[in-house]
Structure 1
Amino acid sequence: MNIQEADILLQLIREPYINQRILAEGSSHSLGIVNRSIKSLSEDGYLDTAIRPTEKAKKEVEMASPKRAVILAAGFGMRMVPINTETPKAFIEIDGESLIERIIKQLHAVGVNDITIVVGFMKERFDYLIDEYDVKLAVNRDYASKNNLHSLSLVKGPLDNTYIIPCDIWCNKNPFNRNELYSWYMVSDLIDDESSVRVNRKSELSVVSEGASGNSMVGISYLTGDVARRVEEKIKKLAADKRYEESFWEEALYDKDRMIVNAKVVHSSEVVEINTYEQLRDLDDNSNQLQSDAIDIISQALNVKPYEIEDITVLKKGMTNRSFLFASQGQKYIMRIPGEGTDQLINRAEEASVYKTIDGLGICDDLVYINPTNGYKITKFLAGARVCDAESDDDLKRCMEKLRAFHERKLKVDHFFDIFGKIDFYESLWGGQPSEYKDYKKTKAKVLELKALIDEWVKPEDYALTHIDAVLDNFLFTDDGLRLIDWEYAGMQDTDVDIAMFCIYALYDRKKVDHLIDIYFDGQCPKERRLKIYCYIAACGLLWSNWCEYKRNLGVEFGEYSLKQYRYAKDFYRIVKEGM
């Protein structure tokens, strides 16, 4: 049977036949399609003379009907700032009911009780659902670095007769049924510029051309039969391929220019995907999750009402923090919210004292608010900003001029950034676990040898307020000039540390390191001072390698960056020794 015939048969399974007009309304097909389908279904033995489903029809429907469900709830929900800093998206409440509990209840209402929830971010929050609703949890430990294609690959058992459901969906009426006949993917009648598919005349989902719009992709899907088995095989194959680590599971549904499942089209008012704070506010302005510390702080700092905080947009997730852009009363701002584990890494009172020291000097971004206890920070948005290009000599010259001018001010604060002390400190945060690197102890011992050389070569006048994190992403070229941002790690140190830090973040080889040193010193860097910078590169490489190992234990992975930092510790130790 074709899709239209399947829809008609399902409607007759669910409700007894009254007349063709009612059947047309219930199945969303025209009277012409209803008439043809009834005739075809009768001829094929699916309907009897009274237009009732036969045993053959009931058996086929039973074989294809839902038996299980998978709810994908592992990710950060990055666009859901600032809510995602306090709760997983699955626990957003509408009219006092969390999204995930509503989905579970809707599944139970149609007899689907075998439910697996794939969790990751704040996974502990989901534990009570096991007792409350008899669900199973599957843990995606790589939720920070891999998308939900990987989440689905972790589910044990077949995907046959299975609903696949994103956790951030609110459905006005139950989208699930006791009976299904074919595989489908849900889209709405809303036209969406971000969609990659559109519904064609055959109820197929065809890929839209570049720049074109499609039907909004809701994300709920049903898989059965051969299609389910094809998707299972493709999920396993793609999940094993590193190129698909950031892919959505829908990647497994595509075959050339279309999806291998049919479209299930719903009205846009029936299903809402809640991706942003403002979408939640529009749907339920009394939701508990709207009571956000971040929103309260913005309201107080800017003296505005919560509804005057608009255009909330997530920025690229940083290595230490989550930040978001917002507008209020015609001005754009950035709010920084400290990331996982940063309370262990950064002294916010010291950071606040640094900002007090540099305030008004035109060095950093324009500070509006900073909390010396929890690290929340608001700055004015810098229009037209771009970061330093590590391969552009013009950019490097301007950045080094800015850095040198800052160093020459010889600013003072009351705290010191102890590189070797931090190496031990970050190591202590591993909780007694050994390093992932087998030769870590040997490498650390070599790096510690360099401390004596540094102490010998450093001069009292070398110490001043040092940025510590003066990396290319923190130099912003703006309409108003060059700014140096993000002073979380700043403290008293040898200012040459900033040169070393720039080099290792940019992943420079020795030739590029020497080139940057020559730019900073205008080609007049003494050999001893150059060797001292090499020492800092080795020490800071180990420092950030230890930092990366701590962050990895929190579920945050930095890939090549962490490997390169460890290599700096080993390679530049050797370079120092060879250069003496």
Structure 2
Amino acid sequence: MNNINKEVFLKILNFDGNLTQRKLSELTNLSLGKINNVVGVLKNKNLITSELTITEKGCDYLSESKVHGAIILAAGFGMRMVPINTEIPKGLIEVRGERLIERLINQLHAVNIFDITIVVGFMKEKYEYLIDKFHVKLVVNDEYAEKNNLYSLALVADELRNCYIVPCDLWFKENPFRKFELYSWYLVSNQKTYTSSVEIKNNLELKQVGSKEFGNTMIGLTYCDNLTGSTLASRLRSLIKDPANNQYFWEIALFQNKKCLFSGKEMDSKSVIEIDTFEQLRDLDENSDNLNNDAINTITHELKVKQSDIREIKVLKKGMTNRSFLFKCEGKKYIMRIPGEGTDKLVNRRNETEVYQKIQKYHISDDVVYINAFNGYKITEFLTGARNCDPQNFIEVKQCMDKLRELHSLKVKVDHEFDLFKQIDFYEQLRVGFPSVYPDYEVTKKNVWKLKEYVEKQSIEKSLTHIDAVPDNFLFVPQSNGAEQIRLIDWEYASMQDPHVDIAMFAIYSMYSKDNVDKLIDIYFEGKCSKTIRIKIYCYIAICGLLWSNWCEYKFQLGVDFGEYSLCQYHYAKEYYQIVTGELGLDE
């Protein structure tokens, strides 16, 4: 039988009550003529009776098609769910008094599916209660921060037999699960979109579509029989071997040699909702407890607006320290900053607040509407059209160094200092119990400490130093006259220090070569840098490299990996120690 015949057969099996061919036409969205033909085929095969009930032969036909279990994918950050995902993982969001993942589990139980595996990662501890409550099995994706659900599904590839694959963020109006399935399918909706890569054909075949073509919205719920499961498992294991696939969804495994492993199954778009954003949750259930979020409540209080006035919430790129999101309120755009993992140990928010108060009158930073000196929440006006500095464009770099020199010339004073060597020790202490990943760390640290004497011998006039003056924190903001204004943002670490530290920080974040480091120094000093100061900046590059290397190691313990950046910082510590000793004639 073809899949259309199988689908009609299952509709007959699962219908409770007196069924007619006209009703069957409504249930399947097939024409009455098509239904007449399918019913004829099923009757000729002795699978159904004239009264549209299942025969004994039909029951035998189902015997090998019982659904074995389900895999629920719940490992990801759910970044688009900001700010809710700062407090709870997406699968545990409540809709109409019921958590999303619990609703899915209950719907599975309703059709006697109890073998359920949940792949978790982000906030995995919050799912632990499901083990006792529903007797599910949890599988942990420890690499959820770097790898998408392609890797999550590969972790349970051995379980891909007669089972459903279920995203945790789906809310179905009616139970989408059945006790029996007769073919492998991937669920799409009847809504068409440019963002989909598949289209369902009349014969239920799934075809790939181009980027400029309409496709059916991909819902993600999937049924996988034994044969398809074996093929899919092999595809998954092969795909995850290539790091280039780390950020892909598992759906890249749908097609093999341009042919889809699964048939398509279509559902009315009104019957299912993928809860991907705060606004989608609010539209579905304006009384959800999860809408009572600290960040949202802060916005409503400080801007004196209603929650419904907060629209167009969009996650911004996840930063090294914070998570931020863009939103629109009463025709104006703002950015809300929410501190990231471990930030409470890394940043003194009272100090940051003091800095913003001191520099406010100079208009060199972002426009702060609200800042909380205790939890680090910050609301700033969105700088429309702003772009970051390109560290490889030395025309832009010169403009940034001019702005940095302007800051340093103000000689602003605050009551706190950023001691580079104490901060290195501090970051080491944060990762107590975890030795450095670098085997020669103690030797490198000892060498860097030797540079302290040279630095302290220099005549240094300390003033407010940004500390994190990296290219990403210099914004070029278009003005009404066509010119651009430079703003320096993210003053979390700003403190009293030698202003020349900012030059070193810009260089190492840009991962500059020695030639470009010297070029940067010459730009800042307008070609008038003494050898003594240049060597001092080399010292700062080594010291700051070790500083941020330790910072990266601590963040790595929290599940945040900065890849090449962290390796480069450690290498700067080693390389520039050698450069300094060479410049001073102290080669060992």
| Conserved? CA contact 1:4–1:29, under 8 Å | no
Could you tell me whether the CA contact under 8 Å between 1:184 and 1:263 is conserved in 2?
Answer: yes
The structure-2 alpha-carbon separation of the partners of 1:436 and 1:57, relative to structure 1 and needing over 3 Å to count, comes to farther
Q: Give the 3 Å change call, closer, same or farther, for CA 24–408 of structure 1 in structure 2.
A: same
Query: Distance in 1 between the 2:409 and 2:257 partners?
Result: 60
Q: CA offsets, 1:499-521, max 9 Å, x none?
A: 11111111111111111111111
Is contact 1:384-1:478 (8 Å) kept?
yes
What SS does the corresponding residue of 1:312 show, helix, strand or coil? Answer: strand
SS of match in other structure, 1:64: coil
Letter in 1 for 2:503: I
2:78 counterpart of 1:77: yes
Match of 2:487 among 483, 486, 495: 483
Once the two structures are superposed, residues 364-405 of structure 1 have per-residue CA deviations (whole angstroms, 9 ceiling, x without a partner) of 011100000000000000011000011112101100100011
Aligned to 2:374: 373
Tell me the residue number matched to 2:527. Answer: 523
SS in 2 for 1:69: strand
Flag the 1:528–1:543 CA change in 2: closer, same or farther, 3 A: same
Percent of paired sites with the same residue: 53
Aligned AA for 1:557? D
**TM-score with structure 2 length normalisation?**
0.95
Which amino acid is the alignment partner of residue 444 of structure 2? T
Paired amino acid for 2:11 = Q
Q: Give secondary structure in 1 for the equivalent of 2:138.
A: strand
After superposition, what is the alpha-carbon deviation per residue over 1:45-103, rounded to whole angstroms, capped at 9, x for unaligned?
64578765455543443323311111111111111111111111111111111101101
Q: Which moved more, 1:520-529 or 1:167-176?
A: 520-529
Cα distance in 1 for residues equivalent to 2:60 and 2:355:
73
The whole-number CA distance in structure 1 between the counterparts of 2:533 and 2:338 is 38
The structural deviation recorded for 1:225 is: 3.0
- Measure how far apart 1:560 and its partner are: 0.9
Q: How does 1:128-147 map to 2 (within 5 A)?
A: 128-147=129-148
Query: Higher mean Cα deviation, 19-28 or 530-539?
Result: 19-28
Report matched runs for 1:496-511 at 5 Å: 496-511=500-515
Q: Which residue of 1 aligns with 2:2?
A: 2
Change in CA separation of 1:524 and 1:270 when aligned onto 2, cut-off 3 Å: same
Other structure's SS at 1:263 match: strand
1:473 aligned partner: 472
One-letter amino acid of the counterpart of residue 146, structure 2: S
Aligned partner (choices 542, 562, 569) of residue 566 of structure 2: 562
Give the counterpart letter for 1:302 in structure 2: L
Range moving further from structure 2, 481-490 or 136-145: 136-145
Report the alpha carbon displacement of residue 564 of structure 1 after superposing the two structures with TM: 1.0
Q: Judge conservation of contact 1:17–1:52 (CA < 8 Å) in 2.
A: no
Equivalence for 2:482: none
The equivalent of 2:209 in structure 1 is 208
The change in CA–CA distance for 1:18 and 1:219 in structure 2 (over 3 A counts) is closer
The residue that corresponds to 1:109 in the other structure is 110
Classify the secondary structure of the residue corresponding to 1:212: coil
Long gaps (5+) in structure 1? none
Contact 1:17 1:23 in 2 (8 A): no
* Aligned pairs for 1:306-321 within 5 A: 306-321=307-322
For residue 180 of structure 1, what is the aligned residue in structure 2?
A: 181
Structure 2 unaligned runs (5+)?
480-484
Q: Is the aligned partner of 1:574 residue 2:573?
A: no
Counterpart CA distance in 2 for 1:14 and 1:185 is: 19
The 5 A counterparts of 1:391-470 are 391-457=392-458, 459-461=459-461, 463-470=462-469
Aligned mates of 1:509, 1:533 — CA distance in 2 = 14
- The answer to whether the Cα contact below 8 Å between 1:368 and 1:378 also exists between their aligned partners in 2 is yes
Other-structure match for 1:217: 218
Aligned residue identity for 1:117 = I
State the shift of 1:323 in Å.
0.3
Q: What is the alpha-carbon distance in structure 2 between the residues aligned to residue 186 and residue 8 of structure 1?
A: 16
User: Cα distance 1:428–1:62, how it changes in 2: closer, same or farther (>3 A)?
Assistant: farther
Alignment of 1:226-305 (within 5 A): 226-257=227-258, 259-305=260-306
Supply the distance in 2 between the matched residues of 1:48 and 1:289 (Cα, whole angstroms). 50
Q: Offset of 1:153 from its aligned partner?
A: 1.4
Q: Distance in 2 between the 1:42 and 1:225 partners? A: 27
Alpha-carbon distance in structure 1 between the residues aligned to 2:415 and 2:14? 75
Contact 2:67 2:181 in 1 (8 A): yes
State how 1:17-28 maps to structure 2 within 5 Å.
18-28=19-29
- Give the aligned residue type for 1:501: M
Deviates more, 1:65-74 or 1:251-260: 251-260
Contact kept? 1:88, 1:121, Cα under 8 Å: yes
Q: Structure 1 residue 137: deviation in Å?
A: 0.6
SS at match of 2:158: coil
The superposition leaves residues 339-387 of structure 1 with CA deviations (integer Å, 9 ceiling, x where unpaired) of 0110010000000000011002011011100000000000000011000
1:251 partner SS: helix
Structure 1 letter corresponding to 2:451: L
Please list the CA deviations of residues 181-221 of structure 1 after superposition, one character each: whole Å capped at 9, or x if unmatched.
11111111122232222222222222221223322111111
User: What SS does the corresponding residue of 1:482 show, helix, strand or coil?
Assistant: strand
Change (3 A) 1:356 1:5: same
**Counterpart AA for 1:572:** Y
Residue 556 of structure 2: aligned partner: 552
AA partner of residue 568 (structure 1): Y
- CA deviations 1:429-458 (Å, max 9, x no partner) are 11311111111111111111111111123x
Q: Is the 8 A contact 2:368 2:380 kept in 1?
A: yes
SS in 2 for 1:152: helix
Q: SS of the counterpart of 1:460? A: coil
Cα distance, 1:520–1:382 mapped onto 2, change above 3 Å:
same
Residue 35 of structure 1 deviates from its aligned partner by 2.8
Contact residue 325 and residue 335 of structure 2 kept, 8 A: yes
Q: CA deviation at 1:241?
A: 1.3
* AA of the residue aligned to 2:190: D
Q: How far apart, in 1, do the equivalents of 2:58 and 2:166 lie?
A: 27
Contact between 1:4 and 1:33, CA under 8 Å: does it hold in 2?
no
2:190–2:217 CA contact under 8 A, matched in 1: yes
Tell me if the contact between 2:119 and 2:141 (Cα under 8 Å) persists in the aligned partners. Answer: yes
Alignment partner of 2:261: what SS?
A: strand
Q: Secondary structure at the match of 2:318?
A: coil
Check conservation: 1:382, 1:478, Cα contact below 8 A. yes
Q: Which amino acid counterpart does residue 337 of structure 1 have in structure 2? A: I
Which residue identity is paired with 1:479? P
Provide the rounded CA distance (Å) in 2 between the counterparts of 1:165 and 1:362: 50
| Contact kept in structure 1, 2:386 and 2:478, CA below 8 Å | yes
Give, in whole Å, the separation in 2 of the partners of 1:325 and 1:50: 58
Kept after mapping to 1: 8 A contact 2:20/2:52: no
Give, as a single letter, the amino acid of the residue that structure 1 aligns with 2:582: E
Looking at structure 1, the residues matched to 306 and 543 of structure 2 have their Cα atoms a distance apart, in angstroms, of 48
Larger mean Cα displacement after TM superposition, 363-372 or 424-433: 424-433
Q: Cα 1:78–1:39, aligned 2, differ >3 Å: closer, same or farther?
A: same
Match runs of 1:8-87 below 5 Å: 8-15=8-15, 18-44=19-45, 46-47=47-48, 53=54, 57-87=58-88
Give the partner amino acid of 1:344: K
Q: What residue is the counterpart of 1:492 in the other structure?
A: 496
